[in-house]
Amino acid sequence: MATLLCIDTATGKAQVSAWRDGSVLQALYNDAQKDHAAFLQPALQQLAKEAGMGMKDIDAVAVNAGPGSYTGLRVGMASAKGLCYALRIPLITLNGLELLTASLKTQLTDIRATDLFCPMIDARRMEVFTAVYDAEMKTILEPCALVLDENSFKEHCENQRTFFFGNGSGKFKNIISHPNACFEDIEILPAAMGAMAADRFEKNQFADLSYSEPFYIKEFQAFVSK
């Protein structure tokens, strides 16, 4: 089985993990979003040491390509691409909304065929990066940036149970009152990221190393104080 290095610096909690033979070898985390860049390189060295592997043992690097923090996405992508160039190994890019959904599904014990899954990543104020997937991970609503209001996802909740989760779901919980709206507290799990990366590796679904970019969804906007 392949040994995969997984990098996620897309949101407030960064993580690096190593995956081999269907399980996570080791994982390290950082909760200070402003320090993700400083955390990443020392963490990769510590991870290799604690997992008992050398960089030459890595068969591919997987990275959470977004959506998420503009700076965080660039940090993760640059590091992942740099390692792939140096080690001459493939790059695997993963969608953070899909990763959140896969993470939640591993924690639920009563998934119904009609269930819908709506991950939400905070995009400031009442805006989130979001999508909707069914129980088979088929896309019902393509990833997008959405400003939430009391009518958001009304049609999705009408006839089926809909799960809302991720670090942007809390503000939606305060404005929706529908019996089919279920809220769960979940972050991207190393096991879910490793499993998804391993599936892409087995299928040779690699990203173009030269042209891969973060999945921003919306363009970066800089705010200048007057």
Neighbours of 41 (CB within 10 A): 12
How far is the C-alpha of 123 from the C-alpha of 113, rounded, in Å? 30
How far is the C-alpha of 84 from the C-alpha of 81, rounded, in Å? 5
Of the chain, the percentage scoring pLDDT greater than 90 comes to 93
Span 136-183, pLDDT tens digits: 999 999 999 999 999 999 999 999 999 999 999 999 999 999 999 999
Size (the chain), residues:
226
Which residues on adjacent β-strands are paired with residue 138?
none
How far is the C-alpha of 24 from the C-alpha of 18, rounded, in Å? 6
> pLDDT tier at 34 (50, 70, 90 boundaries)?
confident
How far is the C-alpha of 114 from the C-alpha of 48, rounded, in Å? 42
Rounded to an integer, the average pLDDT of 45-68 is: 95
Span 65-123, pLDDT tens digits: 999 999 999 999 999 999 999 999 999 999 999 999 999 999 999 999 999 999 999 99
pLDDT at 88: 97
Domains observed in the chain: 3-96+188-202 (3.30.420.40), 97-184 (3.30.420)
